[in-house]
Structure 1
Amino acid sequence: MVLMWSVRATIGSGLSVGTKTRLILTHRDLLIICLFLTACPGEQVIVRETEASCGNGEIEMGEICDDGNNSNTDACTNGCELAGCGDGVTREDTVLGDEQHEECDDGNSEDGDACLTTCLLARCGDGVLRADRSEGEDGYEACDDGNDVDTDACRVDCREARCGDAVTRLDLQEGIAGHETCDDGNRDDNDDCLNNCQRARCGDGIVGPGEGCDDGNEDPTDDCSNDCAPARCGDGIRQVEEACDDGNEVNEDGCLNRCASARCGDGVLRADLEPGMAGFEVCDDGNRTPTDDCTNGCEPARCGDGILQIGVEACDDANEIEDDGCLSDCTLAPVATCGNGEVQEGEQCDDGNRSNLDNCTNGCELAFCGDGIIRQDIASGDDGFEACEDGNEVNEDACTNACEFARCGDGIIRQDRAEDAVDFEACDDGNEDPRDGCLIGCVEARCGDGIARVDLQEDEEGFEACDDGNDNNEDACIADCQLPECGDGFVQTGIEECDDGNDDEGDGCTPECLLEAANPYLVFVSSELYTGNLGGFEGADGKCQRLADAAGLPGQYKAWIGIEGTGPAQRFNQPANAAYHLTTGEVVATNWADLTDGLLAANIDRDENGNIPQQRGNTSCNGGGFPTVWSGVRNNGEGHGNACGGWLSEQGGGLWGRYDALNQWTSWCSGGLCSWVSPIYCFQQ
């Protein structure tokens, strides 16, 4: 504590001593002074406070420092306070490296502006993210991680790392978003570094340097191999169009250099097999001629193999019997020489030629169907002609045992064709009658093919009484190919009125398939009179229903009124087998058609209670005085005009009928006023 004291003391005999002292006192010093003053009660002590003057070079009361100058930028401010970072005044009496050196002092505690709270200028790399700059402004920082590493998430220029910035990130593990294995800073997807900052590699789907192709999959059997080279014969990968691919240039193994499987007769002698192994070849002359020095089994021709080697063997009967005309050395026995034109012992024939395609083979045996040799000496149609010859006894393949090409209609069902093949046969009965179990195209007959079978009895499975080729159950042939009959559950149009599939009475359909008469519909003329504003159809129907309910009549009721396009023909039930009765029982019409033919059987002149209406209304249509009724309906039940604004107004004119007339009951007179009153007809529904 700094205090200025003015002290005057009278000590002993009245000696007065005056002093002005500048003191710097601690709390301990003050305590001692107080004790001193208390210990001298006979003395007079006067204490006065003197005002301090900042800038006089002396630290006085209320001052922390006083350097006696006017500089506000050194260690002691002009307010005699010690300078401090954050006081808003930048010190100029220090140099970089000195303790308490300041580059700036903006007097705030915000660490994200141009001046840090350490009074150093903000800079990229100081670890503090500036928030006072927008992108594009000088000093803007997207990040600041306080290091000089350019390969992490924040670059040394305080920009966020991104793929394409030409700096490869090294701070992320593979699989983590943002991981880069390269970054060449360009958008060329065909160099060593892809646009996603991953090293180009075989299999990434992009053809890069050194790659002939890259389809992005691991299928080695397509057009691009897994080492990104175009597929080719000899690459060791079998493609769809290749029978094999062993990846070598050896043509004498199981896979030829043209990627075809080695086989006997391909002209290439296999060298990869030992005798006795399947496919072993001693020779391969590339032809299918069995009579030269290399057989079709790729074995050297030899005497006794049963194949006559032309020019080498005189005969070869595949045995060692000496007395059969062919000796064991494949020479002809002296007594018989096949081919000399004479039939000798052991010969079935001898035509003296070397043709194996006529009726006498080169073994002097008679040609026959099934010997595997197609005769060419007979014209088509002649006995013995062979259209084909497969050398087997299978009759159900492409060549029958009669050496004829298989065909639909030959009576033989082929077994060598798939069901979806064009020439597949499901049946073959050898005839051209489509009305049996096999159609002309060798397709099995079925109900619905449009051809009625005639080869079965009525009690046999598959019997068809008819077949019209459709699945309509309401025509002359029902869907199960049976003739329709009353009671089968299907209504035959134009013949049956109904068919409920049973012979029960009283269920609406008689056993003779006629509709049973239904309960009659009740009809009455209202006992109340109304203007033409009936409340539309809904209001008029409600009036009828209320009258019927009050009279205890059953069912639902609607008013016989209409407008153009909408009338009873559109709104009413139209029974074909129910009559219309008055509430007193008289028949008005036998059904809807009878009701709308223009002539009734009885006048509708009874109200809901069975009474003759006592009120005729106040219309003067056609002179007045007639029992009129609101209508707006033609004789056929169709609506007419727009009476009384659709029965919603008392303005305009209407259309009336007469309830005392049989032929004008619904359409009698038009015009008049909708303000007149008349009853309405009500019909049960």
Structure 2
Amino acid sequence: MPARAPARLLPRATLLALLTGLPGCRSGDPSLTGCGADSCSATDTTTDMSTETSTTGPGLCGNAVVDPGETCDDGEDCGDGVCNSDEYTGEKHCNATCNGLYPEWCGDKAMQATETCDAGGNTLTCDADCTSVECGDGILNPSAGETCDDGVDNSDAYDDTPDQLACNTACTGTAPHCGDGVCQESHEGTTCADCTCGDGIVSAPETCDDAMATPTCDADCTPVECGDGHHNPAAGEACDDGNMLDDDACRNDCTRCGDGILQPGEECDDGNVIDEDACSNDCIKPRLVFVTSSDFKGNLGGLAGADMKCAMAGMTADPNLPAAAWRAWLSDDTGSPSTRFDTAFSGWYRLVDGTPIAKGWSDLTDGNLAAAIDLTENGLNPADPLNAWSNTTAAGAMVGNEHCNNWSNSMLAPKGRIGDATATNTDWADLNDAGLNPFSCGTSLHLYCFQHTP
């Protein structure tokens, strides 16, 4: 309702004019002058109060002062546009008589006809202005997950003015820009850190970015995966060659020989790159080779009997190996090293003092040894004659039928072919000397003994 003007004292002239028409105005009244038949005037004995304003009375509601008898007064010039009123305005305001607040406003937790909700403030579903939550209404509601709301200015367009970034259309952050942690390739290049792997910011197409190789993230900002070609020691990869070959230097589970960890399929792993030591660079233990300190005539008991003689001597060479671990380098009609030995072996053959002879079966049988097989199971040189029964080519095959009747005859007449324990060429297996080879089965000679199993 419009405010009523405050009461004021009337000017003296006006008061005298009114008094002349009032009963009791008599001439001769000491308080009046100019009293005549039709008029009189009062003598002004007080100070002129024509400019003073009264501060009391019910007509003062609306002067923005809580006067006596009032409990509130919004006044006429309200900054929020809500003055004394008996109408719903949405704001909390004084009523038209200044004796209390108008009972209905947004925030009183009682939904009015013009409100869509009223929770007394921001909630997950209701804004503080009693309207439903809506990104883009210009009302920031953190309770509903909004971090900003610029109203109609919300935008998802790339913004290259970082000091004036608009709110995005989801009200969850600013518009796309350099520094938002996402590489916008159509707008940003390597000058924007968002587009750099190793900056610690996960930005598309990155799926991780730990700024270094970690147990879960490769240095190229991709998840750890064995076979991706990115060696990640932090993730336990000993290697990663990026191929599907399981028999090369790096296995398909990203383990390799030489990492110092014994993996399935490894006989050993000493973690070094010394190939000829107790563990080769293929993680294969070496196998022992010796010539027996004892010598035997041609009745060896066949190949099996010769193997047992190697087994007996082998207990000295390595007491931890079983008897079945040994084979004699010997051929007859029943077999030869090429049929009885582990031809897939690729580790080192070594003498009992560690001297390498050959690496693997293929090297052993190529016609040249790295050193002569001239040490016994005791690590000593054998006694003369320095020859061993063989009837085997350097390639591991049977030479012929000169094998002392399948190594069962010790008579002088039968012959058996022999090798030279001092030779490193093919003579080590089959001596190229027609005057000495073959030799009488009644002669006592040594045996070559090879470790057959790990």
Which of 1 and 2 has greater Rg?
A: 1
TM-score of the superposed pair, with normalisation by structure 2: 0.38
Structure number with the higher helix fraction is 2
Higher RCO (C-alpha 8 Å, min separation 6): 2
